[in-house]
């Protein structure tokens, strides 16, 4: 399976409604949270101090924009986003490849299908986040709060979970080949139905305390122990990731 994003079509100018947004942004007090500029060329717009939380700038051309002081918390970018020269986007609070998210509060965030390869996530607060299908290989989640997060179908090869809280996590159909669960804080209620790489970590997880292994997961309708013991040589368990 090719996890690399395909190159987008030529970048269009900002959509018609973008003109109104740009005019509003010029007053430096604009609130354009959640704006979709995916694949757009914004031109020489002044966005200094503007609230751009949760804006989608994946594939967007921002090279001429002024972004000093803009609030980019949880804004989405990808490897095709073009930033102004010298702009420290990785430390801006935006979410995407290479983002510096250590200790960030991403509880209940919608990160479905996001490219987070190379992101720094030590001590991240990710409780209840939806990370289904996200690209997160080789990510360090040490000391993170991942309780009740959904990682169905996510690419987590080589990821490390030391001292992370994984209660109720949904790893069904995730690619966990080479993942390191040593010294994990808790897996109570976590499920691993159909996960890949089980031979690397199943026996270790089955040695966890009974209080964790016999905890019920209401979405998967099984306990942590049942999800681990049912994995066969093909990495399959009864009940798929949508069960």
* DSSP states of 126-174: -TT-B-TT-B-TT-B-TT-B-TT-B-TT-B-TT-B-TT-B-TT-B-TT-
Instruction: State the average pLDDT over residues 180-208.
Output: 95
What the chain holds in terms of domains, given with CATH numbers, is 1-94 (no CATH), 98-243 (2.160.20)
Distances (CA, A) of 150 to 69, 129, 147, 165: 32, 6, 9, 13
State mean pLDDT over 124-143. Answer: 97
pLDDT-above-70 percentage for the chain: 82
Q: What is the pTM of this model?
A: 0.82
Q: Do the beta carbons of residue 160 and residue 141 sit within 8 Å?
A: yes
Mean pLDDT of the chain: 87
- Overall average pLDDT of the 49-66 stretch: 96
| pLDDT at residue 197 is higher than 70 | yes
Could you give the CA distance from residue 233 to residue 193 in angstroms, rounded to a whole number? Answer: 13
Whether the pLDDT of residue 118 is over 80: the answer is: yes
Token representation of residue 161: 């979970």
Residue 200, classified by CB atoms within 10 Å of its CB into exposed (0-12), middle (13-18) or buried (19+), is middle
CB 228 within 8 A of CB 207: no
For residue range 159-174, list pLDDT tens digits in order: 999 999 999 999 999 9
Mean pLDDT confidence for 70-84: 97
Task: Flag whether pLDDT at 233 surpasses 50.
Answer: no
Q: Is the pLDDT of residue 53 over 60?
A: yes
The percent of residues in the chain predicted with pLDDT above 90, rounded, is: 80
Residue 175: strand pairing partners = 155, 196
CA gap 188, 174 in Å, rounded = 18
Alpha-carbon distance of 6 to 208, in angstroms, equals 41
């Amino acid at each position: 399976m090719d996890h690399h994003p395909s190159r987008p079509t030529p970048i269009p100018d900002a959509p018609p409604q973008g003109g109104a947004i740009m005019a509003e942004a010029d007053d430096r007090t604009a609130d354009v949270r959640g704006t979709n500029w995916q694949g757009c060329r914004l031109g020489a717009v002044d966005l200094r101090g503007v609230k751009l939380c949760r804006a989608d700038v994946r594939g967007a051309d921002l090279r001429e924009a002024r972004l000093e002081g803009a609030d980019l918390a949880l804004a989405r970018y990808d490897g095709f986003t073009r930033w102004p020269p010298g702009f420290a986007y990785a430390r801006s609070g935006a979410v995407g490849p290479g983002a510096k998210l250590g200790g960030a509060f991403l509880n209940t965030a919608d990160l479905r299908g996001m490219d987070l390869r190379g992101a720094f996530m030590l001590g991240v607060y990710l409780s209840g986040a939806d990370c289904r299908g996200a690209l997160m290989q080789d990510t360090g989640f040490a000391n993170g709060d991942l309780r009740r997060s959904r990682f169905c179908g996510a690419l987590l090869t080589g990821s490390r979970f030391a001292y992370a809280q994984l209660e109720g996590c949904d790893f069904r159909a995730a690619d966990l080949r080479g993942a390191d669960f040593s010294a994990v804080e808790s897996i109570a209620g976590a499920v691993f139905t159909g996960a890949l790489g089980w031979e690397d970590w199943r026996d270790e997880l089955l040695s966890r305390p009974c209080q964790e292994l016999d905890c019920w997961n209401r979405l998967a309708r099984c306990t942590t122990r049942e999800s681990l013991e049912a994995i066969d040589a093909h990495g399959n368990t009864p009940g798929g990731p949508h069960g």
